[in-house]
Chain A
Amino acid sequence: MNKFLFAPGHTACAGCGQSLAARLVIDASGPNTIVANNTGCLEVFSTKYPESAWEVPWIHSLFENASAVASGVEAALIYLGKKDGVNVIAQGGDGGTADIGLQALSGMLERGHDILYVCYDNEAYMNTGVQRSGLTPFSSNTSTSPIGSASLGNIRPKKPMPEIARAHGIPYVATASTAFIPDLQRKVKKAVSIKGPKYIQIHVPCPLGWRHDSSLTTQVAKLAVETGLYPLFEYENGALSAQRKIKPLPVEEYLKTQGRFKHLLNNPEQVKLIQAIADNNIARYNLKIEAENSA
């Protein structure tokens, strides 16, 4: 049997991007890691008494306070003289990070704790039934931003959480995707080797909430990156240090794979607005692969 630090037998949906990412993150960080987890899908499907998928010390308290609980863990380790060689990770979903958990996260980042915060971004409150969060993309169909005769879904774009993290002046911010596994694990390993607060946001497809087949998890995540809708980049000490360059595909390629965007397929005007978001990302993060220079 594999010696992963996140064991099978958890009750995530088949094809769940978050369960995949959770295992990749903890394996990259290693056994000398303590995890504080917010309430959400990951916490519920991995620790239903009396079963836990975690092979590292792990604690869950409430929906919004993993950052603060982790701050306490880190402070305790420093007091004990045991912080060196032990990674502390605080993690949660998009809702627990960008909405209800934003205050605690901001406080943790501002105080400069040596903690890696990981946001598993499946773009809605999935655990409670696919409700709209601050990281739900523009025009997404969720249960609290549903489509109807008077609505084309969520009316707001994603809250720029990586930028908010970067604005706190922390040493490392990165986005990642389950479609690019070695890149994800490299970023986690890099983050835990840096002292100070770090923020990594991982795009994790949710077959149930996004309405796609469970086998397409990697495919869908890849298209998000390749259209420019989910840019992969790293900020080191506030400066953009790397990005995954792409030959941009039109956003339709991504939107047509998921039921939550189905209503857009015969609405070119709305798709143009989404294309503008992608184009904005491509420009801002310098994502476009440069054309070959002629000799």
Chain B
Amino acid sequence: MFGPLVVKSGSSKKNKTGSWRVELKPKFLQKDCIGCKLCVLVCPEGCVEGAEKNTYHCDYSYCKGCGDCALICPKKDILMIKEGEKE
């Protein structure tokens, strides 16, 4: 007989931490983006993705609203807006 023992790899994905946000969330303007990927690299959740210039966006179901992406964007192409606002 076994009790709780082994955990499936990557099973944290079912925990949608986006529900944590209460104040701010990032808005990806996709206007002046140079595709440097710093926003992808710096996100502690790893939920920012994109392919080429002006395609970067985040998965709001995981985004905790920390604001690291907005602050690091060299083109200020990410703004932190109020949680209730539309992106």
Contacts and interface: CB of A to CB of B under 8 A. Distances in A.
B14 interface: yes
A46 to B, nearest CB: 7
B28 to A, nearest CB: 15
Interface residues of A, number: 39
Contacts of B72: 218
A129 interface: no
B59 A1 contact: yes
A14 B71 CA distance: 14
A215 B80 contact: yes
Interface in A128-144: none
Contacts of A294: none
A83 interface: no
Nearest to B49: A2
A206 to B, nearest CB: 11
Nearest to A22: B44
30 contacts: A2-B40, A6-B46, A7-B13, A7-B46, A8-B12, A8-B47, A8-B59, A9-B14, A10-B12, A12-B44, A14-B20, A14-B65, A15-B64, A15-B67, A49-B7, A51-B11, A53-B10, A53-B12, A54-B10, A55-B9, A55-B10, A181-B38, A214-B66, A214-B68, A215-B66, A218-B42, A218-B68, A218-B71, A218-B72, A219-B71
